[in-house]
Amino acid sequence: MEDRNTAMIVLLLLCVTAEMQIDGLCLDVCASCHANATCDDKSDGSGKVCNCKYGFVGNGRTFCQDKDECRIGAICGLHTDCHNTQGSYFCTCLSGFTPSNNMDVFIPNDGTHCKDIDECTVTGLCGEGGQCRNLKGSFDCRCILGYEVQNGAEPFHPHRDKASCKVVDCSRPVAAEDTVLLSVSGTTYGSAAMFVCEEGFVWRRGNNRSVCEADGLWRGGNMSCEVVDCSRPEAAEDTVLLSVSGTTYGSAAMFVCEEGFVWRRGNNRSVCEADGLWRGGNMSCEEVNCGPPPAAPHSLRLWDQSSRPGSRAIYQCNSGYHNVGKGNVSKCNAAGEWERPPLLCKEILCGSPPIIESTVQVWDGSSAPSSRVLFVCRGGFKNTGGDNSSICGEHGQWSSPTLTCQEILCGDPPSLPHTKRLWRGSSTPGSTATYVCKTGFNPKEGNNMSLCTSHGDWTKPNISCKEVECGVPAQIPLSEMLWDKSSSVGSLVVYQCVSGYGNVGEENLSVCTARGEWEGASLQCEEIRCGEPVLKAHAAMLWDGSSHVGSVVSYRCEEGFHSRGLGNSSLCGEEGEWEDTDLWCEEINCGRPPTLPHTHLLWDGSQSLGSVRLYGCKEGFYQEGGNNMSTCLLSGQWGEVSIKCKAKCGPAPVLDHSEVVWHNRSVVVHRCEEGYHSWRGSNVSECESSGEWRSATLTCIEIKPPVNHLCVLNEKCVQWRAEKYEEDTETYKVTYTGSRDYQRSFRDKRKRFLSSKADELQLCLNLLPVTNYSISITAASSRFTASITTNTSLTVPPALAVDYREFETPVPTLRLRRSPNTLDPISVYQVFVLPVDGIMMFDCSSPASLDPKIKSSAEYITGQFDVQHVGTEMNFTVGDGLLYGGFFNAPLQNGRSYYIILRAVSQWKSAFKSSCVLWAKVTGTSYVLRVSSLSAVAAVGLVAFVLIGGCSFCWFFKRT
């Protein structure tokens, strides 16, 4: 620096010596400019001036330092890094972005900016089963339908995370009840498995094909196999069914000989076999004979001369005897013997005659048939009708007499007025009842007894009773009498003193007694006086000295006190006491003065009338106005104070993404920063009386595109996030167009509309397989459009609709019904022949069988058809010896059983999907053998016909 100053001084001296003039000296300005400055003409033409070059700042002469452009906001734009250089700068893009001019570095003065790199254009970036989604400056991956994430969660980044997609594996399918697995194309997503019924079962309904779904479960197979039913077995001649375990396959039936027959030879057990027939039972039964039945004592035998099992012989007791055994029939049993006759004949006797209540028997003791017994009523009872005799019958039983005897009773004795009845409750003849007069009545005349006679009646008593009378009750001085004018026994009279007098006696009640006199009243009446009234504290008494009933005394509080209570007077009552008054006199007291917000109190503690209190604002507050003094008033209340203290708030509150546009010490107005917009809430903050700001509720949110985070899920649904200013309904138009590499004429163009208030939206589309789709979503209110592309994968061909049948012919004709499908151009149908006795498992997913040169001894393809050339129906005859799609349709071998399976195969590039269905079953009966059998039967029939015809001709010839 010192060297530079020395050079400047030398330069000035040279200028002075070289260009000295009369009116002063001349300076060369350009020579004094800084190395990073230029010498320019002044705008007014008055001379030269030094200006720092572009990219430098300073005075142009003594210093020009580098200007750091990277400190001037976002000079390079979004998604960039700024790099300062001497006198300039340059920009680079952040990772995930690239310059629009395709240069590594740039300066944005030509409009160059950083744009997002679409990493999803790189095939296989997300690995097998992964679908790429481009993001701002990056990308992420999700698994397509049929794949699931492993070692992480969705979405994932393959360069950053360990997550990846693996195909869903359903594991080996499990056969349902009564079914077995016939074939399976694999265990991963889209694989198909086929089932057949177990031996002894038949396929009735449901689908025999299951497919591995995206959730790792086998679905679609609901095949129902019913066990073979042979129906109820029929018994052979002379046999009956003893037991049967069921009518289905494997059930067993047991038979026994009919009653009267015995098992001699053969098998008595039949089994239900797989063909629906009972087989194995061939038992033979022979008839049984019992001979004549045995005789029984004292009886006759009735018999139809039959001795077969089940035949009956009936026995009947002789006259004078009856059967006391358990029956009278003997049967011929299956063992060839007559059962022992249960008959037991015993002589007939009636025994003791029946007993009738309240009667006596007249009987000679004989119990032989025709004996008689007479019945008569006992004493105290009378005959009310009926037969009084019983006779011994021929069956050893007495006839039933109908005689009834009823006891003689008089009932309750009669009632008489004004009497009491003395009776023990007995109403038999000879019982008595005695009558006495009730209380308040005296007997006058007549008989007081009643007697129960033998006719069942009470004799009539004639006693009479007269009521007792007390007359008019006596008067008592200074009293009033309350009486209902009744003077019979028990009547009451109540006495009460007249007004102003009270009872000093014991009893004020008199009763009419049975002696005819009033008794009990001892009332005495004296005048009532209350005495001196009660004195009240701090109150004067106003009283005329009278203390009789109705006298009044009044009270009034002294000065400086005020009354409390509802009344101020007392009355002399009829009880001789002054009424209690709730009056009391209380000194006037205003109490503790109230506390006001944000104030302190200046007060000496006095609460009496005229006391004064002063209020002042606390520290941090100032008095905005109002009265600050209060006085204790006659009403006992402090006078009103209107002082208002205003708080002093601190710095203005700060809101996220906002700035202050106006401010005083009480109010602050906010607004959102650039790049943000106001979504909701108040934009004003106010200073409250507590000294704190009541902050504004303004919410500023970043301005974002209306549709973002757009992605495709599981090759079925499109998902995006909506950015809206308000929570109103937005309408979206979703347009999607599909094309195919293998089908140039194919176009799938559709659109959908969706209205929703949600922030996260999802719409599922019916996207076709093996198709390249471009999907665009437009928000109607802002007309903003976001787009995404996706490729759908190859799916399993749809299940085939066939008529499953079972054939016994070696050349069966099979039928297929189908509907056109978009995968027809890349699909074929293959017909497989599988020998039943040699197959263990059929692999439906094996692609090697597509080659007609490869032929397995266990299974083979007998025909192949391009699906796009097949109509809605197709008939195919197995074993016709022709070529179909390069495969020879070889004849089936006689005597062997086969499964015929139809497989649909779709293949594009390396992707291969297939599905299989059981089309038919060909049983192993030899066709030649069946034709030979039919021929033999026809020949036998022809010979029989010839013989019968010849015999008939000979017979006719002999007759003629």
Give whole-number Cα distances, 828 to 142, 661, 791, in Å.
32, 75, 23
Helices (H) and strands (E) in the chain, counts: 2, 78
CA dihedral defined by 830, 836, 841, 846, rounded to 10 degrees? -20
For residue 696, give the CATH number of its domain.
2.20.28
Residue 568 lies in a domain: yes
pLDDT in tens, 853-877: 555 556 889 999 998 888 888 889 9
Q: Concatenated DSSP letters for 596-662?
A: -TTEEEEE-S--STT-EEEEEEPTTEEEEES--EEEB-TTS-BPP---EEEE---SPP--TTEEEEE
Nearest residue to 341 (alpha-carbon basis) of 351, 330, 349, 352: 330
Q: What is the pLDDT of residue 839?
A: 58
Q: Are residues 563 and 673 in the same domain?
A: no
Residue written as token pair 């005659």: 353
Residue written as token pair 């004018």: 485
Q: Are residues 862 and 920 in the same domain?
A: yes
pLDDT of 744 over the 60 cut: yes
Query: Can you tell me whether residue 727 is helix, strand or coil?
Result: coil
pLDDT in tens, 752-791: 999 988 888 999 998 999 999 999 999 887 788 888 989 8
pLDDT of 851 over the 60 cut: no
pLDDT of 212 over the 90 cut: yes
Residue 945 lies in a domain: no
What value does the mean pLDDT take over residues 745-755? Answer: 91
Cα–Cα distance, 25 to 230 (Å, whole number): 140
Query: Can you tell me whether residue 535 is helix, strand or coil?
Result: coil
Q: Are residues 698 and 730 in the same domain?
A: no
pLDDT in tens, 244-277: 988 888 899 999 988 778 887 889 899 998 888 8
Residue 774 lies in a domain: yes
Candidate from 10-19, 124-133, 496-505 with smallest mean pLDDT: 10-19
Q: Are residues 523 and 452 in the same domain?
A: no
How confident is residue 24, by pLDDT bands cut at 50, 70 and 90? Answer: very low
What value does the mean pLDDT take over residues 673-702? Answer: 82
Lookup: tokens for 358 = 């309240």
Q: What is the pLDDT of residue 955?
A: 58
The CB density around residue 183, as the number of other CB atoms within 10 Å, is: 25
pLDDT in tens, 345-360: 887 888 888 888 888 8
Domain interval for residue 758: 707-791
Instruction: Evaluate whether 707 touches 719 at the Cβ level (below 8 Å).
Output: no
For residue 249, give the CATH number of its domain.
2.10.70.10
Q: Are residues 763 and 852 in the same domain?
A: no
Q: What is the pLDDT of residue 409?
A: 81
pLDDT in tens, 235-247: 888 888 889 988 8
What value does the mean pLDDT take over residues 670-679? Answer: 82
Nearest residue to 274 (alpha-carbon basis) of 336, 199, 367, 179: 199
Q: Are residues 803 and 914 in the same domain?
A: yes
Q: Are residues 718 and 770 in the same domain?
A: yes
Q: Which residues have C-beta within 8 Å of that of residue 432, sequence separation ≥ 6?
A: 423, 449, 450, 451, 452
Q: What is the pLDDT of residue 334?
A: 73
Cα–Cα distance, 524 to 501 (Å, whole number): 9
Give whole-number Cα distances, 696 to 490, 660, 751, in Å.
95, 11, 45
Q: Concatenated DSSP letters for 103-158?
A: -SSB-GGGS--EEE--GGGSTTTT-TTEEEEEETTEEEEEEPTTEEEESS-SSB-T
For residue 562, give the CATH number of its domain.
2.10.70
Residue 257 lies in a domain: yes
For residue 890, give the CATH number of its domain.
2.60.40
Q: Are residues 616 and 692 in the same domain?
A: no
Q: What is the pLDDT of residue 954?
A: 63
The helix (run of H) or strand (run of E) holding residue 939 is helix 927-959
Give whole-number Cα distances, 197 to 89, 619, 717, 894, in Å.
81, 96, 39, 24
Lookup: tokens for 690 = 């507590």
Segment 308-311 long-range contacts (CB within 8 Å, at least 24 positions apart): 308/260, 308/332, 309/259, 309/260, 309/261, 309/333, 309/334, 309/336, 310/259, 310/260
How confident is residue 736, by pLDDT bands cut at 50, 70 and 90? Answer: very high
Residue 255 lies in a domain: yes
Please work out, in degrees rounded to the nearest 5, the angle formed at the alpha carbon of residue 401 by the alpha carbons of 400 and 404: 135
Q: What is the pLDDT of residue 864?
A: 92
What value does the mean pLDDT take over residues 281-292? Answer: 84
Residue written as token pair 């799916």: 795
pLDDT in tens, 534-543: 888 888 888 8
Residue 163 lies in a domain: no
Residue 184 lies in a domain: no
Query: Can you tell me whether residue 928 is helix, strand or coil?
Result: helix
Residue 436 lies in a domain: yes
Q: Are residues 885 and 809 in the same domain?
A: yes
CA dihedral defined by 954, 955, 956, 960, rounded to 10 degrees? 100
Q: Are residues 913 and 822 in the same domain?
A: yes
User: Is pLDDT larger for residue 335 or for residue 297?
Assistant: 297
Q: Are residues 17 and 54 in the same domain?
A: yes
DSSP 488: B
The helix (run of H) or strand (run of E) holding residue 948 is helix 927-959
Cα–Cα distance, 287 to 289 (Å, whole number): 7
Domain count across the chain: 11
For CA atoms 481, 483, 485, 486, give the dihedral sign: negative
For residue 51, give the CATH number of its domain.
2.10.25.10
88 DSSP β-pair partners: 85
The helix (run of H) or strand (run of E) holding residue 711 is strand 707-713
Q: What is the pLDDT of residue 929?
A: 46
Instruction: Evaluate whether 276 touches 229 at the Cβ level (below 8 Å).
Output: yes
pLDDT of 806 over the 70 cut: yes
205 DSSP β-pair partners: 224
How confident is residue 16, by pLDDT bands cut at 50, 70 and 90? Answer: very low
Lookup: tokens for 242 = 């003893």
Instruction: Evaluate whether 660 touches 654 at the Cβ level (below 8 Å).
Output: no
Distance of alpha carbon 250 from the chain centroid: 45
Residue written as token pair 């719409």: 763
Mean per-residue pLDDT over the chain, rounded: 82
pLDDT in tens, 182-199: 888 889 998 999 998 888
Q: Are residues 778 and 818 in the same domain?
A: no
pLDDT in tens, 585-617: 877 888 888 888 778 888 887 877 778 888 888
Candidate from 45-54, 160-169, 657-666, 893-902 with smallest mean pLDDT: 657-666
